[in-house]
A and B are shown apart, each in its own frame.
Chain A
Amino acid sequence: MTGRRGASLKELEALYRSRFDVFTRVATSVTGDSDRARDAVQEAFTRAVRGRRSFRRECPLESWVWPIVLNAARSAAPKASPTVDEDQLATTNGHPEHDVELRVALARLPERQRTAVFLRYYADLEYAAIGEVLGIQTGTVSATLNAAHAALRSQLEEVRT
């Protein structure tokens, strides 16, 4: 029983168009820069189109594409950690102080925890899907998110006291 293998261009295009913003925003959490993130998503889908025949339909297409996007984002990310531009936040967002605290706390998380947070709360992926994307067990996803929660809570409480 082999079944149909490979992703079609139409499927990839539909995924790209429906989830481009989510892919780009999560990639931005890795690159720290919207332009780089956008490039990374473009590059990732270019790779996905080229390698679409290797998609085995053992998981949803999106779960297959996410690692490609994250790898492209990591490649595009600067070696130094992204800086926090507080002025920019203050002028573009609604709750600057609160957002700066959260942004700083997120930036301090290990990359896997930060990526898991964005995949869970921004991309709305289930734990199993996050596990596939990050190449870890579902239980490890839970532990990773718990650790991220604890670290964020601790840092935010520290800032506010």
Chain B
Amino acid sequence: MSELDRASLDRTLPPRSGSADWDEVLRGAGAGRERRGRRLVGVVAVLLVLVVGTASAFGTVRDLFGSKHVQRAFYSNEGKRGSFGLRILFIDQARSWRIVPEPGAEAPTGQYAQVSGRGRIVGLGGHAQAWHARLEGFVTRPGEAKQRVVITMKGRPKGPFVLTALQPGVLKRDSGTHTRSHATG
């Protein structure tokens, strides 16, 4: 059967997506902490700056430090519309997130989107002055409360964003975020 070679099989599959990330595997497994130790020192220093600046408005410093999940999400700005995807695995059934631009990112102060997960339902809401976000994603594997959420934001947010859990508690795993670039509107 001449059709069955790697190249032809490859062409029958959807285009490739994502890349290998061994650190993500180790994070998920709770292994390799020693390997990441030195890197964590740098990350913590950055987070201190980011978290302390917003802690007073949205909760105590203890609350924010209570979560190990502080994830940077790179947002792809394409004209007036762009989007990014989140893959979130909750250890509990309800958690809210705040997505804020990093200092220096091209977005007015006060814009944010909030994502909350409750079992099989993911809601998206929040406040935005010049752009809005809408939920495109869905919940998979409700027993594990794993949720894939794709958010499309309309407007002109630009640059890196920080995803911060609003509630205290340790997350089971952060499977990372990745950028998606949808067509401009």
B175 and A118: CB pair below 8 A? no
* Residue with the highest number of chain A CB atoms closer than 10 Å, among B3, B10, B16: B3
Contact code string A79-118 (vs B, CB < 8 Å = 1, else 0): 0000001001100111100110011001000000000011
Task: Kindly list chain A residues whose C-beta atoms are within 8 Å of the C-beta of B184.
Answer: none
Once bound together, how far apart are the Cα atoms of A89 and B148, in whole Å? 25
Given contacts A39-B175, A117-B4, A153-B1, whether A49 and B29 have CB atoms under 8 Å apart is yes
| B15 nearest CB neighbor, chain A only | A92
Does A13 belong to the interface (CB within 8 Å)? Answer: yes
- Chain B: residues with Cβ within 8 Å of the partner, total of 35
Once bound together, how far apart are the Cα atoms of A92 and B10, in whole Å? 11
Once bound together, how far apart are the Cα atoms of A89 and B60, in whole Å? 51
Task: Kindly list chain B residues whose C-beta atoms are within 8 Å of the C-beta of A122.
Answer: 6, 9-10
Task: Kindly list chain B residues whose C-beta atoms are within 8 Å of the C-beta of A98.
Answer: 3, 8
Among B1, B11, B20, B29, the residue within 8 A (CB) of A93 is B11
Once bound together, how far apart are the Cα atoms of A28 and B148, in whole Å? 17
Task: Kindly list chain B residues whose C-beta atoms are within 8 Å of the C-beta of A37.
Answer: 17
B3 and A102: CB pair below 8 A? yes
B29 and A152: CB pair below 8 A? no
Task: Kindly list chain A residues whose C-beta atoms are within 8 Å of the C-beta of B141.
Answer: 75-76
What would 10 A/B residue contacts be, using CB atoms closer than 8 Å? Answer: A21-B16, A34-B18, A42-B28, A47-B29, A50-B30, A75-B141, A76-B140, A103-B12, A121-B4, A153-B1
Residue positions of A touching B, CB distance < 8 A: 9, 13, 16-17, 20-21, 24-25, 28-29, 32-35, 37-39, 42-43, 45-47, 49-50, 75-76, 85, 88-89, 92-95, 98-99, 102-103, 106, 117-118, 121-122, 124, 149, 152-153, 156
